[in-house]
Amino acid sequence: MLTGAAPAAAPPAPPAPPAPPAFGLRLATGLAGVLLAVLVSGLNENITKVALADIRGAMGIARDDASWLVALYAAASVSAMAFAPWCSVTFSLRRLTATAIIVCMAAGVLCPFAPNLSVLMLLRVVQGAAGGALPPMLMTVALRFLPPNIKLYGLGGYALSATFGPSLGTPLAAFWTEYLGWQWAFWQVVPGSIVALLMVSWGLPQDPLRLERLRQFDWRGLLLGLPAISMLVVGMLQGERLAWFASPLICVLLGGGLLLLVLFFINEWSHPLPFFKLQLLSRRNLSHALLTLGGVLFVLLAVILIPSSYLAQVHAYRPLQTAPVMLMVALPQLIALPLVAALCNIRAVDCRWVLAIGLALLALSCVLGARMSPDWIRTHFYLLQAVQIFAQPMAVIPLLLLATTGLAPQDGPFASAWFNTIKGMSAVVATGVLDALITRRNHFHSTVLSERLGNLPAGVDMEGLAQRMHAQVVTLTSSDLYLTVAAIALAMIVIIPILPTRVYPPRAA
């Protein structure tokens, strides 16, 4: 006689992952295709930011409305970074990557033909989701397929999305808008996407579908996490324009987003098939890499924003005139990144001190920039940019090594979700914080200078005085930002001897 209910049958064990194919020309082509797709997607986001004034003028979009194009794209992109690794395991890496490339390209083609702002916003949301799904695929491919001896070089390719891509956005935007027309700010994704799609379709192996994972789909996590990330991103990017917590909308977006995020993490902790594996944060090196990544991205975003904003406001530079300053850092990355990867791949080299030197060089560059004056023109920034050529990869590649060394193969997608989501969210937070700092320091310096001028005698050239005062305010604000960024870089050096542990570059068993 039965005295209780029969125990529930245990869920079937997931099939063992297939052995990775031998690395050769085909896999190398697939990896290069994913890298190209990621760079094209990142350039698309940055180019449309830089060319936004031309796009607004051509399509008749008001400044405030255009700000939503940037915010909604970023919200969709960061959200996709969080959930794409889970989808890549379920629907296969090649299928998801190829689909994301096609959707990103198709949306870019259609954007200039949008009949109204609502349709354009919808297309940008779709494109943001597709573009955001690609960076996690690049990290997953590098972790899964590259032989141990060259894995760090593949991760160095991933680092291009943080160093090379953002710096190249301004020069490319200048080229498209000045010579080919504003539509190419959207259409520039097409040539690279076609090439990337062909390379991915031929080079990446086709995994079987894992649709049995849908039986344990984390619906609660999706319904909590997707709005949480989207609300936080939009709140940070619209905060300064809407006066932060003086706006009920910003209060709802940031407060509600934080509450949903807490509930999302509580759900993820115990779910059998989560999107995020919180238990991985017990790894000191991963936690340190994620924490430092936020600071590094703040610095990298600032050192692009400060000179381009200063030159535009003080000397009326257009993007085409600012382009050489950005290219000074962007193009040498193609050489600096492999060299830094080779350095970190030497067993005797402790990547923690490579990271410390990179951060110190970034701080040095910012301290030099803090000495700027209203007389500075484009050539004065070349020394600062030259220091950053090796500083930027030295601040990124060691973080990738620290974050991924010792990961079990099944934890690769979870590490990718963590790293890419923090990368996307950190860039958003940095944008919001920098906007707030710029506004407040502008107001402060304007007030101080106005008080010092006092009552002016008759006959003073008020228009010329106003121009000189504006140039001085922008210069002092830029100097303050450089000092703030230098302090952040130095603060990240302080925690290096405390938190991360020594790791060695991966080697074949």
Q: Quick one: which of 163, 258, 206 has its CA closest to 27?
A: 206
% of the chain beyond a pLDDT of 90? 60
Mean pLDDT for the stretch of residues 341-366: 94
Dihedral sign for Cα 258, 291, 289, 332, please. positive
State the Cα–Cα distance between residues 276 and 418, nearest whole angstrom.
Answer: 7
State the Cα–Cα distance between residues 99 and 1, nearest whole angstrom.
Answer: 56
User: Residue 29 — very low, low, confident or very high, per pLDDT cuts 50/70/90?
Assistant: very high
Amino acid of residue 406: G
The domain spans of the chain are 24-203, 214-272, 279-453+462-503
Rounded (5°) CA angle 182-184-185: 75
> Which of 45-59, 68-82, 342-356 is predicted least confidently?
45-59
What's the pLDDT at 10?
45
Mean pLDDT for the stretch of residues 430-447: 92
End-to-end CA distance of the chain: 55
Pick the CATH number of 279-453+462-503 from 1.20.1250.20, 1.10.1740.10, 3.40.50.2000, 3.40.50.300: 1.20.1250.20
What's the pLDDT at 457?
64
CATH class of segment(s) 24-203: mainly alpha
CA 29 to chain centre: 24
The DSSP result for 425-444, as a single string, is HHHHHHHHHHHHHHHHHHHH
State the Cα–Cα distance between residues 335 and 267, nearest whole angstrom.
Answer: 44
**Phi, psi (5° rounding) for residue 158?**
-60, -35
Domain 24-203 matches domain 279-453+462-503 at the CATH topology level: yes
How many C-beta atoms lie closer than 10 Å to residue 285's C-beta? 20
Amino acid of residue 72: L
Phi-psi region of 244 (alpha: psi -120 to 50; beta: other; left: phi over 0): left
Under 8 Å between Cβ of 72 and 234: yes
- For the chain, give the number of residues: 509
The DSSP result for 133-175, as a single string, is THHHHHHHHHHHHS-GGGHHHHHHHHHHHHHHHHHHHHHHHHH
User: Residue 456 — very low, low, confident or very high, per pLDDT cuts 50/70/90?
Assistant: low
Amino acid of residue 37: A
**pLDDT, tens digit (0-9, with 9 covering 90-100), for 276-328:** 999 999 999 999 999 999 999 999 999 988 999 999 999 988 878 888 888 88
- With H, G, I as helix, E, B as strand and everything else as coil, classify residue 282: helix
What pTM, to 2 d.p., does this model score? Answer: 0.89
Radius of gyration of the CA atoms of the chain, in A: 24
What's the pLDDT at 404?
87
**pLDDT, tens digit (0-9, with 9 covering 90-100), for 164-206:** 777 777 787 777 777 888 888 889 899 999 999 999 999 999 8
Mean pLDDT for the stretch of residues 125-146: 91
Under 8 Å between Cβ of 212 and 12: yes
What's the pLDDT at 78?
94
Q: Quick one: which of 111, 131, 133 has its CA closest to 122?
A: 111
**pLDDT, tens digit (0-9, with 9 covering 90-100), for 241-259:** 998 999 999 999 999 999 9
CB environment 101-138: b (16+ within 10 A), e (fewer): bebbbbbbebbbebeebeebbebbbbbbbbbbbbbbbb
Supply the mean pLDDT for the chain: 88
Query: How many H-runs (helices) and E-runs (strands) does the chain carry?
Result: 18, 0
What's the pLDDT at 484?
95
